[in-house]
Each structure stands twice: as structure tokens, then as C-alpha cells.
Amino acid sequence: MTYPLSRLRERVGVRAQAKEKARELRTSTTEAEALLWQHIRGRRFQGFKFRRQRPLSPYILDFVCLEAGLVIEIDGGQHSDQLDYDQRRSALITSRGLTVIRFWNHEVMNETTAVLEKSWQTLQTLTPTLSRKRERE
């Protein structure tokens, strides 16, 4: 006799699916994601640890710094047609206490310094005490 999965098992199954999807996305990154990742991985970006393709409920975040609560999303051309989806996604992310900043692929590719500067400014506003400590070091 088979029993239906418990809710806990269902959640674990969904989480496993999200982890598998995230793993798949990490192996097939866009040029813009790969470029930004080279700048922010391994605590290279002002000592902050970023993770990429991190599952959060039904979504997978492009880049997230859990320490500061910052999510960086990189949008391709398809996002111009799905503004409602992106708004719902951002609303869920912010409801979890995270701050979202979005960049277009062409911004990351052509204005990398500006993207990093905006990311740094956002990190400073999110972690003022950490920022002052890092300035002293």
C-alpha cells in the first residue's frame, strides 16, 4: 500500500527540484552573469560573500548576499515582456527582507564599473556598520 507524501516530504521534493534547477542554471550562465560573477565571487567584492542561482520559494535568485540581504538580478530581453512576473517576483523577495536591484544584460556587459558601483552603494546602505568597519581596515 502506498501512502501520499506528507507535506514535509512534498516540500523536500520541491526543494530538491529547485536545487536541481539552480545547479542546471549555474552550468548554463549568460555572458553577463559570468562577467558579474567574476567580479563578486569568492568575497572579491569588498569582502561580501555572494551566492549564485540560489533557490527562494518558486524562484531562483541570480546572485544573493545573505550577509547584507541583497539580491542582484540580471535581466535579458525577455524580461521586457514579463513586467508583471518580475514585479511579483520582486515583491516576494522583498517580503522576505531582501533588497532587489536589477540590471539589464547590456548594462553588465557595457557598464560593468557602474553596475559594481551601484551594487556597492546599495551594500553600504544595507550594512552601514559593516561598511564603516571595512573602511577602517
Report the CATH number at residue 107: 3.40.960.10
CB 74 within 8 A of CB 130: no
Asked if residue 44 is part of any domain, the answer here is yes
Q: Please indicate whether residue 58 or residue 37 has the higher confidence score (pLDDT).
A: 37
Asked if residue 116 is part of any domain, the answer here is yes
Asked if residue 1 is part of any domain, the answer here is no
Asked if residue 46 is part of any domain, the answer here is yes
The band of 1, judged by pLDDT with boundaries at 50, 70 and 90, is very low
- Give the type of residue at 71: V
Asked if residue 13 is part of any domain, the answer here is yes
Class of residue 103 by CB neighbours under 10 A (exposed 0-12, middle 13-18, buried 19+): buried
State how many domains the chain has: 1
Q: pLDDT exceeding 90 applies to what percent of the chain?
A: 47
Integer Cα distance of 77 and 125 in angstroms: 29
Average pLDDT over residues 28-51: 91
Query: Is pLDDT of 107 > 70?
Result: yes
Asked if residue 69 is part of any domain, the answer here is yes
Q: Which of 121, 23, 130, 118 is nearest to 73 (CA)?
A: 118
pLDDT at 111: 96
pTM of the model: 0.74
* Parent domain of 74: 7-136
Asked if residue 2 is part of any domain, the answer here is no
pLDDT at 63: 94
Integer Cα distance of 129 and 131 in angstroms: 5
